Amino acid sequence: MSRAFIFPGQGSQSIGMGRELAEAYPAARAVFDEVDAALGEKLSTLIWEGEADKLTLTENAQPALMATSLAAMRALEAEGLKITDAAYVAGHSLGEYSALAAAGALSITDCAQLLRTRGRAMQEAVPVGEGAMAAILGLDIEAVRALAEEAAEGAVCQAANDNDPAQVVISGEKAAVERAAALAKEKGAKRALMLPVSAPFHSALMTPAAAVMEEALGKVNISAPAVPLVANVSAEAVSEPDRIRALLVEQVTGAVRWRESVAWMAGQGVDDFWEVGAGKALSGMVKRISREAATRNIGTPADVEAARAG
């Protein structure tokens, strides 16, 4: 089997994630310690003992999810399973940073600080209440793009996450997104759900955040990853550091082409996808994109042991 390691994005966070890994594996604990030091605060305490509302804040959720993914990766490595056992890495939105850190392209310290900056910049790009996102279920990407364009009426409304064949998330100005959600049923969608998010991610409204990230990414070292990254905005493999840097900037306003990314990996022979970190959202998407693919979740010591046992 050809394997890919995939890393979850925002929405997968939960209080207590990664704690068992940190207790069972010193290398996993060291990840949380490094993230705490990088941010100058005990993010690990918030992750394990804090309030869900505070963890859900974008500036906290992003580095927290990365820390949990990297802790899971270190636990796998402690059991002899390496990043180079995979043909590719990929991540959903912020998960792309986790993927790059797992593959050695970014240090954990730089990654944590970038994600704190990214979270704040994305939150501050649009005043609270002015932007929105909605999941459109039962329509493909082309139908949703047409729907978003029709509902925009001169405002920003665009397909933001092409998650799988039957789930596309739209993002933009609140009134336009609400119009699109109302129109979706008429266009044949099964459901249209407004999402409980604090900003219109992956839309043109994030342009101020892209400028912040361009500056921040320009100050960190990015190495060639140990295995190629399948990037969100290109849906194909990339290894060249300057190209990765440019794609991370583009990703702030660009769509997450997850369906195409998984299909591309499947087309290269990948048939085994390991979701490393919190939650199981990506595994469900993978199954809907590539029915023949096997999936595995790595979020607890029991998961790591099962992976080691084969």
User: Could you read off the pLDDT tens digit of each residue along the chain, which spans 310 residues?
Assistant: 799 999 999 999 999 999 999 999 999 999 999 999 999 999 999 999 999 999 999 999 999 999 999 999 999 999 999 999 999 999 999 999 999 999 999 999 999 999 999 999 999 999 988 999 999 999 999 999 999 999 999 999 999 999 999 999 999 999 999 999 999 999 999 999 999 888 899 999 999 999 999 999 999 999 999 999 999 999 999 999 999 999 999 999 999 999 999 999 999 999 999 999 999 999 999 999 999 999 999 999 999 999 999 8
Backbone torsions φ then ψ of 88, nearest 5 degrees: -145, 160
Q: Say how far apart CA 134 and CA 196 lie, in whole Å.
A: 9
Domain residues of the chain, as ranges?
2-125+205-309, 131-197
pLDDT at res. 1: 75
Query: What CATH number labels 2-125+205-309?
Result: 3.40.366.10
- Give me the catalytic one of 92, 202, 261, 283: 202
Query: What CATH number labels 131-197?
Result: 3.30.70.250
Burial-class residue 38 by CB neighbours within 10 Å (0-12, 13-18, 19+). Answer: buried
Q: How far is CA 102 from the centre of its chain?
A: 13
- Give me the catalytic one of 12, 44, 93, 283: 93
pLDDT at res. 196: 84
Backbone torsions φ then ψ of 83, nearest 5 degrees: -60, -35
Structure tokens at 285: 């998407």
> What order of strands is seen across the sheet that includes strand 229-230?
237-238, 229-230, 88-91, 2-7, 270-276, 294-298
The yes-or-no answer on residue 92 being catalytic is: no
Q: Say how far apart CA 4 and CA 179 lie, in whole Å.
A: 38
Q: The tokens 């990766």 sit on which residue? A: 73
The answer to whether 46 and 54 are in contact (CB under 8 A) is yes
Any residues with CB less than 8 A from the CB of 256 and at least 6 apart, and which?
A: 9, 92, 93, 160, 161, 162, 163, 202, 232, 233
Q: What is the pTM of this model?
A: 0.96
The answer to whether 70 and 101 are in contact (CB under 8 A) is yes
Q: The tokens 């997104």 sit on which residue? A: 177
Compute how many other C-beta atoms are within 10 angstroms of the C-beta atom of residue 211: 14
Q: What is the 3-state secondary structure (H, E, C) of 97-117?
A: HHHHHHCCCCCHHHHHHHHHH
pLDDT at res. 198: 80
The yes-or-no answer on residue 93 being catalytic is: yes
Q: Say how far apart CA 160 and CA 57 lie, in whole Å.
A: 20
